[in-house]
Amino acid sequence: MWIYGLPYPAGAFLVPYFVCLVLTAVPSFFLEVALGQYACKGGIGVWKMIPIFKGVGIASMVMVFFSNVYYIIVVAWIFFYLFASFTSDLPWQYCDNDWNTDQCREPGSNGTLNGSFRTPVSEYWERRVLDVSTGLADVGSVRPELALCLLLGWVVVFFVTWRGIHQSGKIIWCTALFPYVILVVLLVRGVTLPGATLGLQFYVTPQWEKLLEPQVWIAAGTQVFYTFGIGFGSVIALGSYNKFNHNFFRDSMVLCVINPLTSIVAGVVIFSVLGHLAHLTNQQVGDVFRSGPGLAFLAYPEVVAKMPAAPVWSVLFFLMLLVVGIDSQFCTAESLIAGLIDVWPVLNRNRPYVTLFFCTLQFLLGLSMVTQGGIYLFQLVDSYAVSGMTLLFIVFFQTVAISWFYGSSKFASNVKEMIGYKPNWFFRAGWAVFVPFFCITIFISSIIRYKPPVYARTYFYPWWGEMMGWFMALISMMMIPAYCRLLPPHCYGASH
């Protein structure tokens, strides 16, 4: 969901996002739901249709494992902010706390802040929440409060997924619908703030010159896949729980409309608040915009701190983020367990213990990201192991396997067996042409335009840190050619 942070200002991002949405995300989402429903299997089991490409499913599971470890760290941060919001004065409002430095200045207290001063919001994030160390080599100690928040996140995930996410329908419905209630409340509050129109104008004004920048298209393409959960195996796993003749086409189209509409509304909430912040600080909206986690943990809290009844709005905002984040974690956790059960069906008899084992394992690995140096490892995983480059590589082979090797016409006939009619030319063209072309083009562009990750614009990773990142990325990507190499030749053409 965009509420976590846009990679680019919306004026530069909306047009590429919706082009990629129509031409790639919609056909890919339909394909994954159909795969899961037809095979009644998760992300690995579906590849019995084309055994030589089973490595695609394994690659997805490896990436999902990394994603589970890293994504819930964001949930831990949200828990931290949510608990901190239950107070009369938000702890990031003022500069009189133990963690504040002499450089801390409250905006508006002594004129405009310059580069030598820091806001209480930024110091709360870096010195209270993260307690950031000097670099990747300086791991430091585990942050106890963040570790407890991380543990709480995994406890919730375990109790929802231990029987299978399809058995927890009421919980999923609540976590899916509840954020919309809060989003409407935040929407009404946001658009009524002074200066909100500044942000909304910035939001809807296209920056046509940005369309010529490949990096914007790379960001839009990868973001749209993340938004729909494509390539992670979670959509396939959820589709496998449908009845064979369920009209998934209807459901898929509804979701493909609701998802971008939700993003649009979330964008209105975000940019109305950014407009208010620009109004308060006498800056341009583009100057207060922050990409990535900075939007959720720096920009929005800074505005909330200036509102009447600030703790109430802070609780609502972080509660919405929490429900959205934990709901996504349910799906990826289910994807991993379903994939493992595909490979070893005997595990299904001991599913609660298998779920407990993997939740515990991923929690223990996640502790490395709630250390003082954890944010550096977090960004490394984000930039490599679960990067858009890795995701596009997997989606390319997934689509090519079905459309070119299994055959678009044959797969369309399989769809007809389920819903009574074949998908039209748009979907078949998407599988055979649009999605593969887009994925390989953006993947190559990402390689050509590769830049090493930089934390907070000041910390450059050491060479061994970059090597660690590339190793994590290659672990998943190399599963595809490795499985092809190891599979006996007589199994290449099997499909059933």
- Known binding residue 327? Answer is yes
Write down the pLDDT at residue 414.
Answer: 94
Q: Tokens standing for 480?
A: 């595809």
Q: Average pLDDT for consecutive 10-residue bins of the chain (496 residues)? A: 49 80 94 94 89 93 95 96 94 90 76 66 92 93 97 94 70 79 90 89 79 77 86 90 91 90 86 86 74 73 86 92 89 89 88 94 97 95 90 95 93 93 93 94 88 87 95 94 74 51
Asked if the structure places residue 205 within a domain, the reply is yes
pLDDT at 166: 62
CATH number reported for the structural domain that contains residue 465 in this entry: 1.20.1740
User: Residue 102: inside a domain, yes or no?
Assistant: no
pLDDT confidence of residue 436: 96
Q: What is the C-alpha end-to-end distance of the chain, expressed in Å?
A: 36
Tell whether 126 is covered by a domain.
no
pLDDT score, position 5: 46
Please say whether the beta carbons of 26 and 430 come within 8 A.
yes
Report the C-alpha gap between 86 and 361 in whole angstroms: 31
> How many domains does the chain fold into?
1
Spatial contact of 496 and 48, defined as CB atoms under 8 Å apart: yes
Residue 98 in domain = no
Closest CA to 227 of 176, 188, 262: 262
Helices 26-39 and 388-400, packing angle to 10 deg? 60
Residue 248 lies in a domain: yes
Question: 459 pairs with which residues across the strands?
Answer: 455
Residue 418 domain flag: yes
Q: How far apart (Å, rounded) are the C-alpha atoms in residues 259 and 25?
A: 11
**Residue 121 covered by a domain:** no
Assess if residue 46 is contained within a domain: yes
Question: Which of 378, 355, 368 has its CA nearest to residue 456?
Answer: 378
Q: What are phi and psi of 205, to 5 degrees?
A: -85, 115
Q: How wide is the angle at C-alpha 170 spanned by C-alphas 166 and 174, nearest 5°?
A: 120
pLDDT at 488: 58
* Structural domain for 262, as ranges: 2-90+136-491
Cβ of 34: how many Cβ atoms within 10 Å?
26
Residue 407 tokens, joined: 């055959």
What is the C-alpha separation between 261 and 18, in angstroms, rounded? 11
Residue 328 marked in a binding site: yes
Q: Is 259 annotated as belonging to a binding site?
A: yes
Is the whole-model pTM more than 0.85?
Answer: yes
